[in-house]
Amino acid sequence: MTTNPSPQIWLYDTTLRDGTQCEGLSVSIEDKLRIAKRLDQLGIPFIEGGWPGANPKDVQFFWQLQEDPLKQAEIVAFCSTRRPNTVAEAEPMLQAILTAGSRWVTIFGKSWDLHVTESLKTTLEENLAMIRDTIEYFRTHGRRVIYDAEHWFDGYKQNPEYALQTLEAAIASGAEWLVLCDTNGGTLPHEVSESVATVNSHLSFIICQKLMTNDLEQRTIPQIGIHTHNDSDLAIANALAAVMAGATMVQGTINGYGERCGNANLCSLIPNLQLKLGYSCIGEHQLTQLTEASHFVSEVVNLAPNEHAPFVGRSAFAHKGGVHVSAVERNPLTYEHIQPEQVGNRRRIVISEQSGLSNVIAKARTFGIELDKQTPQARQILHRLKQLESQGYQFEAAEASFALLMYEALGARQEFFEVQGFQVHCDLVEGKEASSALATVKVAVNGQNILEAAEGNGPVAALDAALRKALVNFYPQLAAFELTDYKVRILDGHAGTAAKTRALVESGNGHQRWTTVGVSTNILAASYQAVVEGLEYGLLLHSQAEAALQV
């Protein structure tokens, strides 16, 4: 018995062009090349690389890919139709696209008559000529063309007859894809469905007529694509509506990056299309790389990952309520819509004041500790957890501190060092922005007392440096540790400068990251606690790794 193959949806990534228009996002040529190669590994068929000729960076990007091409993806150059009242052959920007050397070119043109008359300051007929002339120019030079119908949905609402004429012009010129763009992001899903269905019906009629008169080559029968923006928080819903109405190409960006509110997020679209609707987008093995690819791109563009992002976020499969945890432990289907491993994510049990014994037991298991509800230490850990959280501690985001709390309750917390005291002195010179700090720490290691001092550009940096300086001779692995993030939150603002402070410190060793927490009415004491536990947990990880190698 044979099974029918899943229908194909062609993914088109525009992270490197539309995504870079996101406020606060900037990439170098090297960044763009790294992202392109990661998307290529993910199995994305079309990767839009930018607008060659619009800026030197994109020109060099395409040149470098000619020297070191992608393995399977088509790299696509992007540009607009020619200017009004010129000819395509005389347009320098179109010649720059040819020089880029990509086999595929995406051309965007105006669908909305308002934009034709107000933005381009030309006639409706000239706009049609611009579409035809530009596409024909690239077809003559052997390029395959994707036509992006900019502002399609707004244009179709206002003047459907003219909007359809722009698509007819693209068809007549040899465009292979007609991508309907919700450029302003204001269209609703039912409007997308109706419009895509209408376009499909209209194009079928035109194509049948042309085939009957041998006026259209079989290879240029166009397909429909969709390009949505998220201004109404509907980019993904609109893209799915378009696919279900007949679109076979979906354009979007990794993590939904894009201008204003962003573009359709491929990290949500891909699993929805593939796991929920049964379409074929990328290979199953590649799908398991989705979370890693999402985080990789966010690291390269230097934007913090959205921890609450569906499918790929750190909290996407996190369980906090005791009832939820107990149920998920028995059957993950009770509170998970897919298996997290399908998209390369993992289940997390979150520890907080809302936790029950089920949370503690499940969380302990992630650290290799087996407990049950009858274990006295389990209730001791739960009691201590709730006691500390009532004081302002937060262990949801500080799992390393919770691990140390567990080891202490079980009598298994290693004492790598003991901090016997510290002092921090800050200098602030009037009229200068920069300030310096000097920290002095006294620690004991294996019965030996060490007194060290170090400077930093702030009190926490100085304290961190002094601790490392005091301990590195005993623990050389500390040289690889780094403080990667530091957050402070005032817990009771009504208390003014006497308010209790919570400090979260994220540390790393180049391979792993972990977060620790400290709470005090003294911001330095809170920070000190978090920094110390960060070093302690890092040493614990190193110790466990060494023990595993010796087994």
For residue 216, the domain's CATH number is 3.20.20.70
Domain membership of residue 311 (yes or no) is no
Higher per-residue confidence, 244 vs 524: 244
- Look at residue 530 and tell me whether its pLDDT is greater than 80: yes
Q: Which range (163-172, 181-190, 482-491) has the least confidence?
A: 482-491
Q: Which residue has the tokens 């606060």?
A: 24
Please give the mean pLDDT across all residues of the chain: 88
Domain membership of residue 312 (yes or no) is no
- Look at residue 223 and tell me whether its pLDDT is greater than 90: yes
The stretch 154-165 carries a mean pLDDT of: 96
- 361: pLDDT confidence band, cut at 50, 70 and 90? confident
pLDDT in the model for residue 218: 45
Residues 397 and 432 in one domain: no
Using the 3D structure, point to which of 378, 409, 440 is the last residue of a domain: 409
pLDDT in tens, 38-96: 999 999 999 999 999 888 889 999 999 999 999 999 999 999 999 999 999 999 999 99
pLDDT in the model for residue 1: 43
Residues 393 and 423 in one domain: no
- 449: pLDDT confidence band, cut at 50, 70 and 90? very high
Domain membership of residue 274 (yes or no) is yes
CB neighbour burial string for 244-268, b if at least 16 within 10 angstroms, e if fewer: bbbbbbbbbbbbbbbbeebbbbbbb
Residues 162 and 269 in one domain: yes
Measured in degrees and rounded to the nearest 5, phi and psi for residue 383 equal -65, -45
pLDDT in the model for residue 322: 60
Per the structure, how many domains does the chain have? Answer: 3
Residues 114 and 29 in one domain: yes
Comparing CA positions, the residue from 392, 313, 299 lying closest to residue 353 is 392
Do 403 and 426 contact (CB within 8 A), yes or no? no
- 495: pLDDT confidence band, cut at 50, 70 and 90? low
Domain boundaries, position 512: 418-550
Domain membership of residue 1 (yes or no) is no
Residues 20 and 110 in one domain: yes
Residues 360 and 433 in one domain: no
The stretch 171-199 carries a mean pLDDT of: 96
Residues 481 and 402 in one domain: no
Domain membership of residue 260 (yes or no) is yes
How far, in Å, CA of 211 to CA of 216, rounded?
6
How far, in Å, CA of 543 to CA of 548, rounded?
9
Domain membership of residue 530 (yes or no) is yes
Q: How far is CA 245 from CA 197, 201, 241, 248, 322, in A?
A: 6, 11, 6, 9, 42
Residues 384 and 425 in one domain: no
Residues 163 and 39 in one domain: yes
- Look at residue 462 and tell me whether its pLDDT is greater than 70: yes
Q: At what angle do helices 322-330 and 357-366 cross, to 10 degrees?
A: 60
- 336: pLDDT confidence band, cut at 50, 70 and 90? confident
Residues 280 and 322 in one domain: no
Residues 256 and 112 in one domain: yes
pLDDT in tens, 362-401: 777 777 788 877 778 888 888 887 788 778 777 766 788 8
Percent of the chain past pLDDT 70, that is, above it, reads 91
Residues 237 and 282 in one domain: yes
Domain membership of residue 3 (yes or no) is no
Domain membership of residue 305 (yes or no) is no
Comparing CA positions, the residue from 288, 296, 233, 530 lying closest to residue 398 is 530
Higher per-residue confidence, 477 vs 319: 477
